[in-house]
């Protein structure tokens, strides 16, 4: 983990921990802020009614999620999953904050706009945390790199072996060429399977982080 990650993750997680603690301490105020968004969610997803009908409970659950996921992100434990969880909570918080903000004057509108931009910026930071691989390349890149390296080494080995076979005569050269043809065919099949597996793993990882 680089120094930037050691500093950035705690800074990003700290705001969610503080916000979660505040919700847990003052659930009634948080519930009032969440009431309208929860009603809108209930109208779209009736199955969520057991949760949306109790804004106070929803506020407490949301606060607990923020504290837990924020702590994991700050400590660097399951950072991508923690960032993904916080992104979902942050979207709901941002919408609730946007809907409940007063717009009685131009100053209120300007403050609402500033808050919205701040929340979008935080969401962008969480997005980066979700795709951060700790400096390690993706599975697809590693598969491609291994494939190219194997091809390069195989080509060098083939040249040396062919030169050795030519010194032994035509029969040895013919036999070696047949073996080489079979080996290349098997290698292409193995390479194709490896790339397919790496691509599938990368897609699954992308689904988790999206």
Work out whether the CA dihedral 148, 154, 158, 164 comes out positive or negative. Answer: positive
DSSP string over 102-164: --SSHHHHHHHHHHHHHHHHHHHHHHHHHH--TTPPPHHHHHHHHHHHHHHHHHHHHHHHHHH
Compute the distance between CA of residue 129 and CA of residue 127 in angstroms, rounded to an integer: 5
CA-wise closest residue to 125 among 2, 4, 1, 3 = 4
Q: What pLDDT score does 18 carry?
A: 92
- The listed range with the strongest mean pLDDT (34-48, 60-74, 106-120, 139-153) is 60-74
Q: What pLDDT score does 24 carry?
A: 92
Residue 150 clears pLDDT 60, i.e. is over it: no
DSSP state of 48: G
Compute the distance between CA of residue 43 and CA of residue 54 in angstroms, rounded to an integer: 14
Compute the distance between CA of residue 118 and CA of residue 15 in angstroms, rounded to an integer: 12
Compute the distance between CA of residue 95 and CA of residue 144 in angstroms, rounded to an integer: 42
Condensed to tens digits (0 to 9), the pLDDT of residues 175-198 reads: 656 666 666 676 677 667 766 766
The reply to whether the predicted model has a pTM over 0.75 is no
Condensed to tens digits (0 to 9), the pLDDT of residues 77-113 reads: 888 899 999 999 998 888 888 887 877 888 888 888 8
Q: What pLDDT score does 98 carry?
A: 83
The residues near 181 (Cβ < 8 Å, ≥ 6 apart) are none
- Average pLDDT over every residue of 197-205: 67
Work out whether the CA dihedral 165, 168, 173, 178 comes out positive or negative. Answer: negative
Three-class DSSP category at 42 = helix
């Amino acid at each position: 983990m680089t120094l930037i990650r050691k500093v950035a993750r705690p800074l990003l997680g700290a705001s969610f921990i503080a916000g979660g603690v505040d919700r847990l301490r003052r659930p009634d105020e948080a519930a009032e802020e969440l009431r309208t968004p929860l009603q809108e969610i209930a109208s779209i997803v009736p199955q969520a009614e057991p949760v949306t009908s109790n804004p106070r409970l929803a506020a407490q659950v949301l606060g607990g999620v923020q504290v837990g996921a924020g702590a994991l992100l700050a400590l660097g434990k399951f950072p991508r999953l923690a960032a993904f969880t916080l992104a979902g909570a942050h979207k709901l918080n941002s919408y609730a904050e946007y809907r409940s903000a007063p717009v009685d004057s131009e100053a209120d509108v300007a403050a609402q706009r500033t808050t919205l931009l701040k929340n979008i910026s935080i969401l962008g930071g969480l997005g980066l945390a979700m795709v951060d691989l700790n400096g390690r390349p993706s599975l697809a890149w590693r598969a491609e790199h291994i494939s190219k390296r194997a091809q390069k080494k195989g080509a060098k080995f083939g040249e040396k072996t062919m030169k050795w076979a030519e010194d032994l005569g035509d029969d040895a050269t013919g036999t070696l060429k047949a073996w080489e043809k079979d080996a290349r065919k098997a290698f292409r099949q193995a390479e194709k399977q490896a790339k397919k597996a790496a691509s599938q793993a990368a897609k699954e990882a992308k689904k988790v982080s999206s």
